[in-house]
């Protein structure tokens, strides 16, 4: 992901705009969902060890493809783009498989304190970001080939560590819950959400065949519904839907934050991601007492409030103290989102076994990869246009503004996903013409003013991203009140015949 935050790579070598960068980042995310969901369907048959070997091998293959792509980029940029794009898909498949086997293993080993231990497990996510971020930053001007090669080291280490281990029987299997009962927790509605997101991604890969993909998506959802004879658990469906804004708040913003803040700080923007990741890593180790005090849903409500405040503060922060203060709020907000949601799913739908536990992660990754990353990129392009429109030197140019907005003559109108996400971009040649039409003594000042507006625009887009935790806050409050009306939040215990304890 750090590779795609470097303008020398994305703009220089590959020639991508922000929305296109979002698609490249998305390909490193959404296939995570494919592997985690597919492996969840078969992992009890093929075994955890097979999944682990598949994951490690995929991560090593990505490193090799990425390194080779960078080596040939100057001579063959199209081949480089293809290698980095498709290598990102292979990486994501491997990453999803890691979570497909590790989540159910931890939930089975610590079945009485799932939320606590899933938070501790997922301290490894920000922990990895910290290590990778620090290494990439400290390596400075070293080649990206060397930086990508670092991925091979942990992949080999965990393969060696785990290859001789014996894994436990999953809780669902040990309790005698049938395969059909497991799928029933997910049901038609869950399959419909997955099918919708998969259809969008298939159309991006193979455009011009939307009708075929829609038919395929409908068949997938109907097949699940007919086989299970179940719509799925209503609570499970709600948790599936809320994973889209949750994943975009955490992973989507994390994927962009270094690049967004790079233009407003004098240090490497990656330090902000490292800093927030350190906070997440440390706090997740202390999730047990916090969950005990607040309950899982209470913790998510507080987290959503802090995330909203953090994103709003970051969008206007300036100076080292203010930026890191705002980043602290954001980090406190996002820390417990993902693992606490996994804990709730595992505690409330234990019959779903690995499928329900992993599917929410998969759907979250699918949503942020298919929709979240490109949408954040489009938001940034919109902000560029809005901020350039405010530049006084160009606002006075005859015909540049119309009703307070930049004239269509200076804009290209772009869209993705059949026009559902629209965003304008500035026509570089028209802006160049505008600058050249100014008196010679003013051209440098106008150019500088435009570049300054562009550089600060991405940070301001963070305020728009606060809508995602705001949606989550409303849903979490409703769920909190629902459980309160039932006597309070209580995990479902399979060992007690499916009753609550």
DSSP 500: B
Task: Please provide residue 295's backbone torsions phi and psi, each rounded to the nearest 5 degrees.
Answer: 80, 155
pLDDT confidence of residue 474: 96
Q: Which domains does the chain have, with CATH numbers?
A: 2-381+461-485 (1.20.1250.20), 382-460 (no CATH)
Spatial CB neighbours of 253, under 8 Å, sequence gap ≥ 6: 311, 330, 334, 376, 462, 465
Residue 501 in this model has a pLDDT that exceeds 60? no
CA distances from 296 to 320, 345, 430, 443 (A): 33, 11, 53, 57
Structure tokens at 454: 């562009």
Name which residue leads in pLDDT, 196 or 269: 196
Q: Tens digits of per-residue pLDDT, 199-214?
A: 887 877 777 788 898 9
User: Quick one: angle between helices 234-247 and 467-485, nearest 10?
Assistant: 150
CA distances from 70 to 27, 57, 89, 135 (A): 17, 20, 17, 19
Helix, strand, coil proportions of the chain in percent (round to 5)? 80, 5, 20
Task: Please provide residue 490's backbone torsions phi and psi, each rounded to the nearest 5 degrees.
Answer: -140, 135
Residue range 318-335: mean pLDDT, rounded: 85
Strand, coil or helix: what is 406? Answer: strand
Q: In the beta sheet, which residues pair with residue 415?
A: 422
**Among 433, 448, 440, 423, residue whose Cα is nearest residue 397:** 433
pLDDT confidence of residue 357: 81
Structure tokens at 442: 């003013």
Q: In the beta sheet, which residues pair with residue 425?
A: 412
The H or E element spanning position 359 is: helix 353-367
Cα-Cα-Cα-Cα torsion 237, 242, 248, 251, nearest 10 degrees, comes to: -80
Contact yes or no for 3/66 (Cβ under 8 A): yes
pLDDT confidence of residue 309: 93
Residue 6: HSE in the Cβ half-sphere, 13 Å Cα cutoff: 17
**Among 31, 83, 85, residue whose Cα is nearest residue 55:** 31
Cα-Cα-Cα-Cα torsion 461, 462, 465, 469, nearest 10 degrees, comes to: -160
Mean pLDDT comparison of 46-60, 266-280, 435-449, highest-scoring range: 46-60
Contact yes or no for 284/123 (Cβ under 8 A): yes
What span, in angstroms and rounded, lies between the C-alpha atoms of 340 and 36?
18
Task: Kindly report the pTM of this predicted structure.
Answer: 0.76
pLDDT confidence of residue 72: 85
pLDDT confidence of residue 377: 76
Quote the mean pLDDT of the chain.
82
What span, in angstroms and rounded, lies between the C-alpha atoms of 129 and 127?
5
């Amino acid at each position: 992901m750090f590779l795609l935050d470097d303008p020398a790579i994305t703009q220089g070598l590959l020639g991508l705009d922000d929305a296109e960068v979002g698609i490249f980042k998305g390909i490193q995310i959404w296939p995570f969902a494919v592997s985690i969901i597919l492996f969840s369907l078969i992992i009890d048959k093929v075994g955890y060890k097979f999944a682990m070997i598949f994951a490690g091998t995929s991560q090593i293959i990505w490193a090799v493809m990425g390194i080779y792509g960078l080596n040939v980029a100057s001579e063959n940029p199209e081949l480089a783009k293809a290698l980095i794009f498709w290598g990102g898909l292979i990486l994501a498949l491997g990453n999803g498989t890691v979570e497909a086997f590790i989540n159910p293993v931890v939930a089975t080993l610590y079945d009485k304190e799932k939320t606590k231990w899933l938070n501790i497990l997922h301290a490894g996510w920000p922990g990895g970001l910290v290590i990778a971020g620090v290494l990439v930053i400290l390596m400075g001007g070293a080649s990206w080939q060397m930086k990508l090669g670092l991925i091979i080291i942990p992949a080999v280490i965990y393969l060696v560590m785990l290859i001789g281990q014996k894994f436990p029987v999953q809780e669902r299997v040990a309790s005698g819950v049938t395969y059909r009962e497991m799928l029933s927790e997910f049901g038609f509605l869950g399959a419909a959400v997955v099918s919708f997101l998969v259809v969008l991604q298939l159309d991006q890969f193979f455009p011009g065949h939307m009708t075929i993909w829609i038919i395929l998506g409908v068949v997938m959802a109907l097949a699940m519904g007919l086989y299970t004879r179940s719509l799925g658990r209503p609570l499970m469906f709600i948790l599936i839907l809320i994973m889209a804004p949750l994943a975009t708040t955490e992973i989507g913003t994390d994927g962009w934050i270094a690049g967004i803040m790079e233009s407003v700080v004098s240090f490497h923007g990656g330090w902000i991601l490292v800093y927030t990741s350190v906070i997440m890593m440390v706090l997740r180790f202390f999730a047990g007492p916090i969950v005990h005090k607040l309950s899982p849903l209470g913790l998510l409500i507080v987290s959503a409030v802090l995330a909203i405040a953090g994103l709003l503060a970051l969008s206007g922060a300036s100076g080292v103290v203010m930026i890191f203060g705002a980043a602290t709020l954001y980090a406190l907000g996002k820390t417990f989102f993902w693992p606490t949601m996994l804990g709730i799913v595992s505690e409330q739908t234990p019959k779903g076994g690995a499928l329900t536990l992993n599917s929410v992660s998969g759907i979250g990754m699918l949503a942020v990869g298919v929709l979240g990353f490109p949408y954040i990129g489009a938001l940034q392009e919109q902000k560029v246009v809005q901020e350039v429109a405010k530049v006084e030197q160009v606002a006075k140019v005859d015909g540049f503004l119309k009703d307070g907005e930049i004239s269509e003559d200076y804009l290209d109108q772009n869209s993705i996903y059949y026009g559902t996400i629209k965003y304008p971009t500035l026509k570089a040649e028209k802006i160049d013409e505008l600058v050249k039409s100014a008196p010679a003594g003013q051209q440098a000042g106008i150019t500088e003013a435009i570049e300054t507006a562009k550089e600060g625009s991405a940070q301001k887009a963070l305020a728009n991203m606060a809508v995602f935790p705001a949606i989550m806050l409303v849903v979490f409050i409703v769920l909190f009140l629902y459980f309160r009306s039932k006597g309070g939040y209580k995990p479902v215990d399979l060992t007690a015949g499916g009753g609550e304890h």
